Amino acid sequence: MRGLLIGRFQPFHSGHLAAVRQIRTDRPSEQLILGIGSAQESYTWKNPFTASERIEMAVLAIEEAKLDGVIVMPVPDIDRHALWVRYLETLLPRFERVYTNNPLTRALFEDAKYPVESPSLIDRARFEGERVREYLAAGVDWTPLVPPAVARYLSQIGGPARLALLRLDPSVGPLSP
Amino acid sequence: MRGLLIGRFQPFHSGHLAAVRQIRTDRPSEQLILGIGSAQESYTWKNPFTASERIEMAVLAIEEAKLDGVIVMPVPDIDRHALWVRYLETLLPRFERVYTNNPLTRALFEDAKYPVESPSLIDRARFEGERVREYLAAGVDWTPLVPPAVARYLSQIGGPARLALLRLDPSVGPLSP
Amino acid sequence: MRGLLIGRFQPFHSGHLAAVRQIRTDRPSEQLILGIGSAQESYTWKNPFTASERIEMAVLAIEEAKLDGVIVMPVPDIDRHALWVRYLETLLPRFERVYTNNPLTRALFEDAKYPVESPSLIDRARFEGERVREYLAAGVDWTPLVPPAVARYLSQIGGPARLALLRLDPSVGPLSP
Amino acid sequence: MRGLLIGRFQPFHSGHLAAVRQIRTDRPSEQLILGIGSAQESYTWKNPFTASERIEMAVLAIEEAKLDGVIVMPVPDIDRHALWVRYLETLLPRFERVYTNNPLTRALFEDAKYPVESPSLIDRARFEGERVREYLAAGVDWTPLVPPAVARYLSQIGGPARLALLRLDPSVGPLSP
Amino acid sequence: MRGLLIGRFQPFHSGHLAAVRQIRTDRPSEQLILGIGSAQESYTWKNPFTASERIEMAVLAIEEAKLDGVIVMPVPDIDRHALWVRYLETLLPRFERVYTNNPLTRALFEDAKYPVESPSLIDRARFEGERVREYLAAGVDWTPLVPPAVARYLSQIGGPARLALLRLDPSVGPLSP
Amino acid sequence: MRGLLIGRFQPFHSGHLAAVRQIRTDRPSEQLILGIGSAQESYTWKNPFTASERIEMAVLAIEEAKLDGVIVMPVPDIDRHALWVRYLETLLPRFERVYTNNPLTRALFEDAKYPVESPSLIDRARFEGERVREYLAAGVDWTPLVPPAVARYLSQIGGPARLALLRLDPSVGPLSP
């Protein structure tokens, strides 16, 4: 049996790690696929990091936390929501359960007869992707929001400077102004 | 001779049906192509229903109104506006006239030498796609805004619940938050 | 109830019309969707005619044969075969039965639990798309292979000349040599 | 040696021409590639003019200013920012220097070890694409913002009327309302 | 340190497993990324199995062989070969070495300064993707060509029947004839 | 007035240069756009060189031949032949005449009412793209087939070695075998 936790993980923060830990604890005999969504995106305010960088962050955090049974996989978008569940079924190894707090994701998978569960949230107001990006862009107080291994990685690749740049024009890219 | 009325029909509401009825009455000897635009879109706030569902709604409403001579066709977007008229000419059966209240659509077809007409609007403030979606999302008072057959269909496929979900995040899709 | 007959109809020939007639005769109470596949293709040897032209041919032949209950719709390709059935379900109005002589189409729809039937073939060696195109390219003896209305239409749009051109380079397009 | 100045040039205004003149004056022995970005876009508020029209404007203004050594080229978007520099390297003739005032463009090219320079800006608040479009849409006082040859061209193709139309719905296109 | 072995694995056969075993034996301290290329393809003669199915096969075979340190990841094509290396760098976790017997892959990665090695081939004439597919389509003598776990999986999903179908039309898909 | 000569120029050989020279001689007051088609392709047998490399070759040969009035531009494919002429009209600066020896290109532009001319061919059997590629792959006797500046450029970028590699698998790319 396998479960699927899908998100964009921009970046992989402590709320994500807590969800992974909870799922692995609750169901130790099931593998967990961590699907890195919008894998084709990068260098925008909403999606600052490449799939490569996001996979690195997730793997570093999971190793640091000594969690096992997690498979990390890139998932490029398919721009037809009505085909999304079927698309994931053909891209990822078989899964029988889905974890999400997103109401639309829940609805699409329930329509396709999957059991869907919500990881209980630890301090969601604090651990929320956009908020973490705002702190990174400001360059202060962001390290407590991500696992230590992710903090080191983000410092090493210049994450705060990239976010500060992208913060200037949240909507687009190199040709925007 | 054929005419073309193109829109997204999210959903097919009573204003659309009134326009179809008027066109069929004014020009009974011309067929009317009803082009379901942005056919590839679904499960977003702006485009909640699949092309399949929108075609069903249009066909049900047209049959209920006992109108004939209407051909309903899906039209996926081509993301190059300057090619749009030529694209429609290669996708749809031949048409010689266009009906629209959209100024850009009017301009593009007039540049291509098509006669363009505006269906006279019945209570446009009331019968407007976004407003109908807002009422569906709120779950009250929406049935008078659509033909009875569409109201039954929307209830049957869970339209109000879908709109309520999508209302939470109007910009994107399953990976948004 | 509706059935679906999907093909490329390059061009719509007498074998296609015979299949439509048989299906309408066998199941007069069911509508038939005629899906014009590879709708985005044109001006290649394999797909010489635009979706617009193929829809015209199908509609002319069906009217000439005084058949009713047939809905003709363009179906652009989705280049992921494993999503094809689901894609058709979201693009076309609801259908409950599929007609095909293609083994892969049969397999994909049977996997998705659709009843699939094979229209009995009248002289398939004779009425086969590629063969009809060869005759058109040669410019002789092709009119008996298509319904009279299609023959008139093909003559009017210069079908034989187009096929003769495309015959020179069956693989590609304007930049090929 | 060649330099690259990339932008969308919607439209090509006097600030653009001043930047080209400065670069050609500072480095007369280097050719300058003027990359017309988002070349696939047109008929939106953000990208009102086709690549064809934008190339015409740039060429007319450069000829009028008697500048030489400038190569104008269309550059369609690639929707993966992390591949953008490499994409430009494979699309455009070889260049060794980049001119930009966009911080993200600067960062991406600096990561790829290109020397990047900022053309000094003449009155940037005045010569800014969106502002020029606003004046065109209003139909007053826009001619001083573009070179005379561009003003004549924009009048001839109906630029102000197009912008006025697109101003009504800044986000989308023919199917928007 | 990580290495990358990229292929289409249609299906994952004993030659692939031997290459993985050799690499893991030669460099036990390096992780190996197994990139499942052309991940978007399925149900064609050249690419009969979905990415999902190919990942399952690879994982089953690797577990059965008790090999560790292998990360399996789907890699959809990018249809611009000159961007391929850069694309893989942005999609996959960081890798420093590439294993391939394909001369073009070797050339592209060597141009990008990667060390490239050729896994020594065990009986390549026998263990070659197209040949394995031919045997599967014929339905005889194919089990010795794949690891036992893959043989069981292929039987369970009806692999031989699918290949027999696709063998009939090696070039295309559901609309081919 | 401008003319358009469009091709793939894989590589730019002496037959191409002769055509350019003839057109410039016959109509010295008209600019000539040299459209580098299939600009997105590279590293395949049919399209071995990137747009960047092909533009370099064309520019070098034209400068060496002291021809002026030629504008070289990349033209990515649009995969809808029926839209090709309109697409070129929106991508390239305005042109009023087309030069081609390709019958389909001739037909598409004549349908759109363009005057079309055939450059008279010098020794077409000898100066033909595929034949030049075969000689490059063999590594012998190819220099007389291209202008001297192109011969130097191809030697410098390793053209013969690349063609020899691609010759091994004429159909595909890095994942082919």
pLDDT in tens, F16-34: 999 999 999 999 999 999 9
Residue B177 has pLDDT above 50, yes or no: no
List Cβ neighbours of F162 (8 Å cut-off, separation of 6 or more).
Answer: E107, F43, F48
- C-alpha E24/C-alpha E80 separation (Å) is 31
Give the residue numbers in E contacting A (CB under 8 Å), as ranges. 39, 42, 50-52, 55-56, 59, 71-74, 76, 89-94
* Residue E8: closest C-alpha in chain F: F175
Give the residue numbers in D contacting B (CB under 8 Å), as ranges. 40-44, 50, 162, 165-166, 168-169, 173-177
Q: Which residues of A touch C88 (CB under 8 A)?
A: none
Q: What digits encode the pLDDT tens for the residues C33-89?
A: 999 999 999 999 999 999 999 999 999 999 999 999 999 999 999 989 999 999 999
Residue D124 has pLDDT above 90, yes or no: no
To the nearest whole angstrom, how far is the Cα of F90 from the nearest Cα of chain B?
7
Please indicate whether, in this complex, the C-beta atoms of F104 and C166 are within 8 angstroms of each other.
yes
Q: What digits encode the pLDDT tens for the residues F106-137?
A: 999 999 999 999 887 666 667 789 999 999 99
Predicted pLDDT of residue D127: 72
SS3 C87: helix
| C interface test, pick of F6, F79, F88, F102 with most C CB neighbours within 10 Å | F102
- ipTM associated with this complex: 0.93
Predicted pLDDT of residue A176: 52
- C-alpha D42/C-alpha B79 separation (Å) is 9
Q: Of the ranges B166-175, E139-148, E161-170, F38-47, which one carries the lowest mean pLDDT score? A: B166-175
3-state secondary structure chain B: CEEEEEECCCCCCHHHHHHHHHHHHHCCCCEEEEEEECCCCCCCCCCCCCHHHHHHHHHHHHHHCCCCCEEEEEECCCCCHHHHHHHHHHHCCCCCEEECCCHHHHHHHHHCCCCEECCCCCCCCCCCHHHHHHHHHHCCCCHHHCCHHHHHHHHHCCHHHHHHHHHCCCCCCCCCC
Residue D177 has pLDDT above 60, yes or no: no
Amino acid at C65: A
Q: Which chains touch B (3 or more CB pairs under 8 A)?
A: A, C, D, F
Question: In this structure, are residues F44 and E81 in contact, taking their beta carbons and an 8 Å threshold?
Answer: yes
Residues C101-134: b if buried by 16+ CB within 10 A, e if exposed: bbbbbbbbbeeeebebbebeeeeeeebbbebbbe
Cα dist. F17→A35, D69, E48 in Å? 52, 22, 45
Structure tokens at A93: 């190894």
Question: In this structure, are residues B33 and B20 in contact, taking their beta carbons and an 8 Å threshold?
Answer: no
Predicted pLDDT of residue D173: 59
- Chain D to chain E, count of Cβ pairs less than 8 Å apart? 16
Tell me what the mean pLDDT of segment B11-29 comes to.
96
* Residue F175: closest C-alpha in chain E: E7
Q: Which residues of A touch B177 (CB under 8 A)?
A: 101-102, 128-129
- Model confidence band, residue A177 (pLDDT cutoffs 50, 70, 90): very low
Predicted pLDDT of residue A120: 73
Residue E172 has pLDDT above 70, yes or no: no
Nearest to F174 among E102, E128, E129 (CB): E102
Predicted pLDDT of residue E75: 97
Length of chain E: 177
Cα dist. B104→B81, D47, D167, F45 in Å? 10, 14, 10, 44
Tell me what the mean pLDDT of segment B86-112 comes to.
94
List Cβ neighbours of C164 (8 Å cut-off, separation of 6 or more).
Answer: C137, C138, C139
Structure tokens at E40: 């978007």
- C-alpha F171/C-alpha C119 separation (Å) is 36
- C-alpha D163/C-alpha B35 separation (Å) is 26
For residue F89, the surrounding DSSP H or E stretch is helix F84-91
- C-alpha C176/C-alpha F130 separation (Å) is 11
Phi-psi region of B57 (alpha: psi -120 to 50; beta: other; left: phi over 0): alpha
Q: Which residues of F touch D93 (CB under 8 A)?
A: 52, 55-56, 59
Q: Which residues of C touch F84 (CB under 8 A)?
A: 173-174
pTM here?
A: 0.94
- Model confidence band, residue D86 (pLDDT cutoffs 50, 70, 90): very high
Predicted pLDDT of residue B172: 52
- C-alpha B55/C-alpha B47 separation (Å) is 13
Question: How open is the CA angle D30-F50-F22, to the nearest 5 degrees?
Answer: 75
- C-alpha C32/C-alpha C71 separation (Å) is 6
Residue F10 has pLDDT above 70, yes or no: yes
Predicted pLDDT of residue A172: 52
Q: Write down the mean pLDDT value for chain E.
A: 92
Please indicate whether, in this complex, the C-beta atoms of D174 and B102 are within 8 angstroms of each other.
yes
Q: What digits encode the pLDDT tens for the residues A64-122?
A: 999 999 999 999 999 899 999 999 999 999 999 999 988 889 999 999 999 999 887 66
As a CATH number, domain D2-167 is 3.40.50.620
- C-alpha D2/C-alpha D22 separation (Å) is 15
Over pLDDT 90: what percentage of chain D? 82
Tell me what the mean pLDDT of segment D40-46 comes to.
95
* Residue A34: closest C-alpha in chain E: E73
Structure tokens at E62: 């690797």
Q: Which residues of A touch D103 (CB under 8 A)?
A: 165, 168
Residues D137-151: b if buried by 16+ CB within 10 A, e if exposed: beeeebeebbbebbb
Residue bearing the bigger pLDDT, F88 or B170: F88
